[in-house]
Structure 1
Amino acid sequence: MNSLELVNELYKPYRITKQGKATIIESMDGKFAVKAKSQKNVKELFEYLRYRNFDGFPKIVDDSRSDIDIFEYVDDVKMPSDQKALDMVRLVAKLHNKTSYDKEVREDKYKEIYESISSTLEYYKMDYERMVIEIEDHIFMSPSEYLFIRNSSKLMNQIAFCREKLDEWYESVRGILKTRVSVVHNNLSLDHYLKGEREVLISWDKSTVDTPILDIYNFYQKEALNIEFSSILKEYLSISQLDEPSKNLLLILLCLPKKFTLTDDEFSSCSSISEGLDYVFKTENLARPYYLEQDKEQ
């Protein structure tokens, strides 16, 4: 008898449903979520989070089996995506604040970050230049090619702007031998935030200790075109304890341009170019108020 069969025998559920990677069982003893046990020791993680006065995670009901864990089931109230994202980012800021600390880093840590982002910017620059040369060699441009060419100067300016801000950031952190880290969920999505009688983050399998800006950056990559992000970023920055270099690095990462792909499928090409440009323009509007504020202070 495998563990799930044993759970069925013990709990005698009257309803079993699948919800993502979890199996939801409803029985006379209550409602529970059964998930395959991950390589991450979530019990140890949750004990640490509880010690740090953060309880935004589902309670473990039973972790005694080698292949599954049983969690409390947390109801999720339906709400608009923008509101849910705002509530989620408040909880994420609390997670980062409760678990943050200064960590010593080697002397070349910031140099590695600088060189990595610089390489990314150089890759985009060369790729855009290649696309421009190839498109201009055509007698007639397709709609997707024309859309890219029409905005190519804007994209090059975006790369130059990111490089300028990256140089300023590197000058501000040169010689610093510590960085601010915290527990990061590392898998944020609206599906992984539940809010009913209480609010929790689920799916902690990829969690780690790193710079807290990773959570915001990765979430923005997923949802930039789907939700209104200005209020979300403003709320996070107002609650979180990000230092100025971390805040500036986050803005730089958000402003990085996108990879554009042209294929034989003109509809797909137009969609790819259009979505990439929408991302660039939306991010410019998102970041502009923070850079204007910095310019005033200088």
Structure 2
Amino acid sequence: MSDSNRLESVSPILKNYFIEPYFVEDFGIVQKIYSNKGTFALKKIPPNIGTDFIRHVHLLYQKGFNRIVPIYPTMDGRYAVLHENNLYYLMPWMPNDQKEDREHKSQQLFRELARLHTLSAKEITVSKEERTEHYEKTIQQLEKHQEFLDGFIDECEKKTYMSPFELLYCLYYNEINQALRFSKSKFEEWYENTKESDKARMVITHGKLSSEHFLFDDRGYGFFINFENARYGSPIHDLLPYLSRALNTSPKRNDTALDWVFHYFKYFPFKEDEKLLFNSYLALPIPIMQVAESYYRKQRPKNEMKFVRQLQHRYWHLKNSEYIVMRMTEIENQQNQAKEGAQPQ
């Protein structure tokens, strides 16, 4: 799109803010607007997303959380403009020229996430029936996974000549099985601890947590953007996907990711039941089981090399997750022992 066309396309939207654009730079769904009133970011979102997230952003502002890039109202008080079947909202442009190392950025991101969760936390009532239904459904799913794991290895071992994928699966089976059993045991422990409780803690979750959605201003302060998926939910829903992506690497002891989690816990400590659920979900070897299931279901000819590579990568993810869960458990145990030792006899 030419410069003049870009200007023409955003002008009707910006009229709602009494802003006259001079120049527009295209960044996909975000346009950088140079105007008579300064530099802005204009973001396009599909109308089916709606503007619920703006309510969450306002609620956080009211509670004193100001590390969200502000959304400007139009002259008549609306926070989004509907134009040609899309919604648009306007924000200040963040320079994001932060020169500090990535580690410092991540620490700041997790600290601000913990503050966001702290300020928006509220207790909701969960009926015992709902809790039991959730427990039974999840256990049923875990048992189906177990059934597949065991059935597939039986099938592989009956063969005189296994394929490279089947051979590798047999090699990994014990560790996948251990991870699944550990995850199930933590989930059962969670249910035992909470089945008599009718309360659960909810927070406003960002919904799409990523280092790309945490920008820095010229003073070095970090701000969240991309709040369209914000909703009330468990704080685990923000932590897990972020960690899972960070652990999607070659095998390594990712102490950095461990530091992030404990940095977050310093400002927003998980309750006992939340820790059990977090460990259960983090240990769950869903990615590697998905590869095994898609291999099993795929009609011949199968791209053996592609599947073997996928299985290997998911196995690394499994081992990286296992390291985090085990270290977290060790550290928790050490902290509990230290507390018990410090108590007067």
Task: Report the TM-score, using the length of structure 1 for normalisation.
Answer: 0.89
Displacement of 1:75 after TM fit?
2.0
Q: Give, in whole Å, the separation in 1 of the partners of 2:26 and 2:164.
A: 46
Whether contact under 8 Å (1:74, 1:194) holds in the other structure is yes
Structure 1: distance between partners of 2:259 and 2:119: 22
Pick the aligned partner of 1:58 from 56, 60, 69. 69
Deviations 1:141-184 (A, max 9, x none): 33332221111011112222222222221111111011111111
d(CA) in 1 for partners of 2:245, 2:163: 29
CA distance in 1, matches of 2:306, 2:107: 32
Classify 1:3/1:48 alpha carbon distance in 2 versus 1 (closer, same or farther; 3 Å): farther
Query: Contact 2:11 / 2:20 at 8 angstroms: preserved in 1?
Result: no
User: Retained in 1: the 8 A contact 2:67–2:112?
Assistant: yes
Provide the rounded CA distance (Å) in 2 between the counterparts of 1:32 and 1:295: 49
1:36 CA drift (Å): 2.3
Count of matched residue positions in the alignment of Structure 1 and Structure 2: 297
Match of 2:259 in 1: 231
Determine the structure 1 residue equivalent to 2:213: 192
CA 1:32–1:165: 2 relative to 1, 3 Å: same
Query: Partners of 2:222 and 2:274 in 1: how far apart?
Result: 27
Q: What are the ranges of 5 or more consecutive residues in structure 1 without an aligned counterpart?
A: none
| Residue 12 (structure 1) shift | 2.3
- AA in 2 matched with 1:220: L
Equivalent residue number for residue 213 of structure 1: 236
- For the residue of structure 2 that corresponds to 1:108, the secondary structure is helix
Q: Which amino acid aligns with 1:183?
A: I
Give the letter for the 1:234 counterpart: F
In structure 1, the residue matched to 2:37 is 29
Q: Give the Å deviation of 1:35.
A: 1.4
Q: Cα RMSD (Å) of the superposition?
A: 2.5
Partner in structure 2 of residue 175 of structure 1:
196
> In 1, distance between residues paired with 2:200 and 2:43?
35
Q: How does 1:258-269 map to 2 (within 5 A)?
A: 258=286, 259-261=290-292, 262=295, 264-269=302-307
Matched residue of 1:35: which SS?
strand
Cα distance, 1:125–1:2 mapped onto 2, change above 3 Å: farther
CA shift in 2, pair 1:293/1:189, >3 Å: closer
Amino acid of the structure 1 residue aligned with 2:291: F
Question: In 2, are the aligned partners of 1:59 and 1:72 still within 8 Å (CA)?
Answer: yes
Matched to 1:55, the amino acid is N
Q: Assess, with a 3 A threshold, how the Cα gap between structure 1 residues 27 and 138 changes in structure 2: closer, same or farther.
A: farther
8 Å CA contact retained: 2:111, 2:264: yes
Mapped partners of 1:218, 1:158: distance in 2: 18
Deviation, 1:295, is 5.3
Give the distance between the partners of 2:331 and 2:143, measured in 1 at CA: 28
Give yes or no for contact 2:186–2:279 (8 Å, CA) kept in 1: no
Task: Give 1:40's match in structure 2, choosing from 18, 30, 51.
Answer: 51
Residue 123 (structure 1) shift: 2.5
Question: Would you say the 8 A contact 1:185–1:207 is kept in 2?
Answer: yes
Change (3 A) 1:265 1:78: farther
Structure 2: segments with no counterpart, 5+ residues: 1-6, 338-345
Q: 1:61 to 1:13 in 2, by over 3 A?
A: farther
1:204 pairs with 2:223: no
CA distance in structure 1 between the aligned counterparts of 2:65 and 2:141, rounded to whole angstroms: 36
Equivalent residue of 1:203, what SS? coil
For 2:88, which of 43, 68, 77 is the aligned residue?
A: 68
Pairwise CA distance, 1:82: 4.6
- Counterpart amino acid of residue 253 in structure 1: Y
User: For the residues of structure 2 that align with 1:45 and 1:158, how far apart are their CA atoms?
Assistant: 36
Conservation of the 8 A alpha-carbon contact between 1:188 and 1:215: yes
Determine helix, strand or coil for the equivalent of 1:249: helix
- Answer yes or no: is the 8 Å Cα contact 1:97–1:241 preserved in 2: no
Structure 1 counterpart of 2:321: 283
- Matched letter for residue 30 of structure 1: G
- Residues 160 and 180 of structure 1: CA distance in aligned 2, closer, same or farther (over 3 Å): same
Residue 21 of structure 2 corresponds to which residue in structure 1? 12
State the 1:83 CA deviation: 4.3
Residue 101 (structure 1) aligns with:
122
SS at match of 1:56: coil
**CA positional deviation for 1:90:** 1.5
Structure with higher Rg: it is 2
SS of equivalent to 2:108? helix
Task: State the Cα deviation string for residues 75-103 of structure 1 (Å, max 9, x = none).
Answer: 22366555433321211111000111211
Q: Which of 225, 250, 271 is the matching residue for 2:278?
A: 250
Residues 1:138 and 2:193 are matched in the alignment: no
* SS state at 1:166 partner: helix
